[in-house]
Amino acid sequence: MFGDLFEEDFSFVSNNQCGKGKKSKSKDTEPPAPREFTKLSGIKNQGGTCYLNSLLQTLHFTPEFREALFSLGPEELGFLEDINKPNVRIIPLQLQRLFAQLLLLDQQAASTTDLTESFGWNSNEEMRQHDVQELNRILFSALETSLVGTSGHDLINRLYHGTVVNQIVCKECKNVSERQEDFLDLTVAVKDVSGLEEALWNMYVEEEYFENDNLYRCGACNKLVEAAKSAKLRKLPPFLTVSLLRFNFDFEKCERYKETSCYTFPIRINLRPFCEQSQLDDLEYMYELFSVIIHKGGCYGGHYHVYIKDVDALGNWQLKEESKLMTEEKVQKDTENIKEMENPLTILKGILSEEESKQIPVDQLGQKLLEKKGMSWNKKYRKQYGPIRKYLQTHSQIFRLSPDDNKVSLKEMYHKLQFGSDSQGQGLQSPSQNNDIQWTSESLCTVLKDSASGSHWFDLNDSKVQPIKEKDIEKQFQGKESAYMLFYRKSQLKRPSEAQANPRYRVPGHLLNEMDAANVELRKRRMDCDSADNNIDLHLHLGSHYKLSNGALHPSLSRKESVLDLTIDKRKTLGDLRQLIFQLLEFWEGDVILTTAKSLPAGLHLYQTLDVCQLTLVTDWENLDDLIFTGDEMTLGGIGLPDGADVFVWNGKEVGGMEVLPGLDHEPLLLNVLRLAGYNEGGKGQHFIESQHVVPCSAELSTLWKALASPGGIILMNSSGSDKEVENWKVVPEEDMKKTVRSVGLTDGSSILVLDSHDQSLVNVASGNLTAFMHDISWLQVKNFCRLEAEEKQVKITATVETVMSDIKIKAIQELQLGEELVNDSCLRPIKRNGKLLSPVPEDYTVKEAELKMGSLLGLCHGKAPTSTQLFLYFIVGSDLQGGPEMEIVVEETASVIECLNLMLEKSGLPGDNWHLRRINWCYEAGEALSEEGARLKELNVCSGDTLVITEGKLPPKGFLKVPIWWYKPLMHFGHQESMQDQVNCMTWMMGALQVSPEGDSPAYVQSDIGLCYAGDVEISGEAFLEDLKIQAMTLPFFQELSVPSPEFLRAWILESRRPGKLLRNNQQQLNEYKLGGRVEICIEPLQKEDNLGPSDLLLRVQMGIPGERDYYHSVDLVWDISKECTAWALRHRLAAHYSLPVEKIEIAKYFPEKFEWMTISSWTQQMSKRKRKKKQESLQSAPFHLKDGDIIGVKNLLLEDGKDFSTVRDDIGKETQRQLAMEKKKSRQAQRLQNNVFSVGKVTTKHRKPEVALSINVGIFR
């Protein structure tokens, strides 16, 4: 309905790329990021679920909804571990778990994968975006269904249900006609309305009058009268949801559009004017906005996010400018605290106050200062304050010295002031304690919240959560990014104080434990990940195992012996790395020089040496501990050594006795050197011979010319890399010969062309360009199908992509030495790999326009190519498309279907008019019928090259079906008293019967346990019921010989591959509802008793094995109710009860007749005991069994036989026959390939448009 109206727009998402040298970690191993400074969790977008995320966040920040859901315990909802048990309410359980994660789990964004799986959504549904207003209604409906029978059955109604009353008042008798409507959300207009209050006024205050020609029939007056119609809100819900109609349709332009005009809505709204009862207190009508879902985009794409008011103050609201101000205040406060803590007066008073003896020696005071601060008085304070004894004497108002100045104590007044008790007995803090405040995120959050009144707003955009101001909501009044849904809560709803800033409030204990355990695991994973992030892999190339060759380093031994792979913490120093290498290489003698290296196409090259160790200038010899080393003391991360780096270990001078020059200036380049070769019989003319040469990037071009070109030769450069087009080759001028290889733009893989003196005719001397090559000239093959000669011949015609097809045809006629009269009576037709001639190519097309590849095979055939107004068509008579001959015809594209059919009948020599045309479908079968006989071929999109099928029989009238009816009777398996030869003869008779078809089809070899007999055709309306079809089938001559009491004694099947496929149930269902199609065939099975299968009943053919023989007793129909479960365990119990056998003493298998194979249905659940209920049991209706109506189930009685082989003699014969048919088919294909040894034509795949799917949530049945 909406098309791609709500497709996700990902233009705002950036692709994060891993940096060079960084290890890429999978999402499974990398822990999720912790929450950001807002302390709120977002929700991950699964691809197109932003609409779901916005609604879930709104419900999560509705505390009353969240806590009502939390109040439902496992005794009512069940456990997620028992997901396969009945009455386990998965959706509410997954919602509870998601809300707990959003409240307590320390991760940046929660996942909704488990929740969407409980909805029954697949990956396609998660990538497809829907309307959030539609989701709101569907999710509430699913929750109501899931909570049936629990104490939360009225959760949605209790919080969101309201009523509207519509009234019509007669102006004569004043009679009031009322109709009450329920609502969970109010839908209001946006077009031509200024805002929400005006829209509500138009809906619930303005009256509509019935007058003049538009009168109302009053039930009391029983006549047409004038009346007034109005609507009022009768009952207001605690939470009011308002949906804005932003999307409309322009009937003049016939296109959809989004209303982006200004539409205001208040933060607080009084609904008294819109209510039926207006006598209550104002607080009863006051609502406050707490959530705004926003749609960004247009009609054909967009994105959802939500503005939410943090009612319970769970988040840390901190805007950027306020964050900066708070940071500055915090830094200033910390600076003051540090200064106060570093004040020697404060430190000394603190030391003396802690002493039990009120007086201590001055020397001990200095020692205690060293123990407490780790630094002596002389080193820290002497320069500024002088000796300690002098400092104490200066502050005699605080410190008391003994007469000999050897002991010191605090004066009593300061001791009491700082550490005594006040009048109320509360201890006072010391200045140092009072000022030494540790700012945590919690205390900062508290300060911020206290700094402003009321709750704060946040923008929740999938995984991202940002604080916003209330006035930012006004920005969503208009534009492409504007409000789409509004959520209000009654002002009377107050939250308890214990819920404020308390995410654990009312969360069930089992979820608290789960989240606590998950947080512990997350912290552990993050620590492990942090440790792993600091590990880097290095590849140490050992210089003693390398040699210098052709300007680059190459290993003299294998890589395993030449390269040492090492993992090391990047926080280790270069000296640690060197020491580790010494330990690993015990044989090494001399210095270890480490140089970064890189593998180039030419080989390994060295760049920067890591061994330089420098000391900074020492100016303060007393602080020698503060020296900084930039060499061996630098960390590996500090010097920028990336993960996966190549490091060369050598002596820094030579490798293998040869000097090595490291650095970018000596980098070796690998160049492709090309020369011209002579004529090539492979189909091309002059072509390239390539060789590779390594040269230093600092070498001059003159050196390169002397090494590669002969005297008088020239060198050409290719400006487009490996492209060998003519126009890209340029001759190197004389003035560039002194330039280096790198300066002229040559890099690894660049190509240069060397021409000797005799090749220089190909060069335009004036421009320096290469003029021509033969390599762009190729050929097409033309095969003679005119049969004027004794045998067919084919020739090669030289051509380019611009050669016209008429010229190729004339050349081919001349090469084949055919008469000139064929020029006007022949055409060229491409030949497929299987030898089929395709439609002729228009003669005015070029090779490029005809989409022909060089080397393609064409056929020279009789007849003119069709003009631009004609169609070249293939057609086949009958339904045997594989074996029937394919004929050709040329018709005008304006011809009608009936005219085309008559031409085809005339050409094929078919009499009568009892025929119609059908298209070929994708699997090369007769498909859609061309039912409109008067329609033109062009109007029906019939194109040149299409294949049509002439099918016998007139098409039924429009709306009618022509259905072939077969009589179906399951044949009993052969008894054990028959001989083997009798079984084979009987099976051969049944196979012969199967080959009879109303249209002469040739079926493949299939199983022979069914009997089908063609009874005739029935023409019936698509609106008729299944019962009507059975009644008409009973009137056929074949069925009149049978004694069938009523249609209830007949069972109808859809015939698929000459076997009963889908079972048609419910006699009172219309045929159109089965979607039978125009080519459907029905088989009717007679029954001994009335058939009354329910929608959850599965019909199986069950047969018991004959003990000691490879055969079975007669099969019987077994009806199995699968409404509870359809598992192997349940089927075994049903069959055991049917045969009155112990469950553990039977073995069962399903039969696949098209393969003549049996698949044992495993009984693993019998040994699982208690664990079997916890492990998910696969349904037999899914892979690999795909159990359906009519399937054959074999049963073995283990009390009478031990063998578990379910196969029979008929299966052996059937498999052997299938094997022989497959061998013959394979030989036939191989022979056809050899006969038609031509070039394959590439197939073009088309991308089909995805079908539109309505939004739905699957919910179990609860009572």
Q: Which residues are catalytic?
A: 50, 303
Single-letter residue type at 1004: A
Q: Residue 168: helix, strand or coil by DSSP?
A: strand
* Eight-class DSSP state of 264: B
Q: Residue 662: helix, strand or coil by DSSP?
A: coil
Measured CA to CA, the distance from residue 738 to residue 753 in angstroms comes to: 18
Cβ-Cβ contacts under 8 Å for 390 (sequence gap 6 or more): none
Cβ atoms of 806 and 800 closer than 8 Å: no
Half-sphere exposure of 217 (CA within 13 A, CB side): 3
Measured CA to CA, the distance from residue 444 to residue 781 in angstroms comes to: 83
Cβ atoms of 1188 and 1181 closer than 8 Å: yes
Q: Residue 212: helix, strand or coil by DSSP?
A: coil
Task: Give the neighbor-by-neighbor strand order of the sheet with 857-862.
Answer: 794-799, 778-784, 857-862, 826-830
Rounded CA Rg of the chain:
45
DSSP sequence for 1180-1209? TTSTTT---TTEEEEEEETTT--------H
Tokens of 118: 């409980």
Cβ atoms of 901 and 931 closer than 8 Å: no
Cβ atoms of 629 and 569 closer than 8 Å: no
Measured CA to CA, the distance from residue 56 to residue 467 in angstroms comes to: 18
Residue 17: CB atoms within 10 A of its CB come to 8
Instruction: List b or e across 227-246, with b for residues whose CB sees 16 or more CB atoms inside 10 angstroms.
Output: beebbbbeebbbbbbbbbeb
Tokens of 987: 């099976």
Cβ atoms of 127 and 46 closer than 8 Å: yes
How far, in whole angstroms, is CA 56 from its chain's centroid?
A: 21
Measured CA to CA, the distance from residue 400 to residue 390 in angstroms comes to: 13
- Closest alpha carbon to 998 in 1083, 1106, 1097, 890: 1083
Measured CA to CA, the distance from residue 1143 to residue 1132 in angstroms comes to: 6
Cβ-Cβ contacts under 8 Å for 1194 (sequence gap 6 or more): 1103, 1105, 1112, 1148, 1149, 1150, 1151, 1158, 1206
Measured CA to CA, the distance from residue 98 to residue 76 in angstroms comes to: 18
Cβ atoms of 518 and 105 closer than 8 Å: yes
The H or E element containing residue 829 is strand 826-830
Half-sphere exposure of 471 (CA within 13 A, CB side): 0
- Compute the CA torsion angle 975, 976, 980, 982 (nearest 10 deg): -30
- Closest alpha carbon to 79 in 511, 513, 504: 511
Measured CA to CA, the distance from residue 32 to residue 43 in angstroms comes to: 12
Residue with tokens 């030289």: 798
Measured CA to CA, the distance from residue 984 to residue 591 in angstroms comes to: 89
Cβ-Cβ contacts under 8 Å for 88 (sequence gap 6 or more): 77, 78, 79, 80, 82
Tokens of 370: 């060293």
Half-sphere exposure of 416 (CA within 13 A, CB side): 6
Measured CA to CA, the distance from residue 733 to residue 717 in angstroms comes to: 10
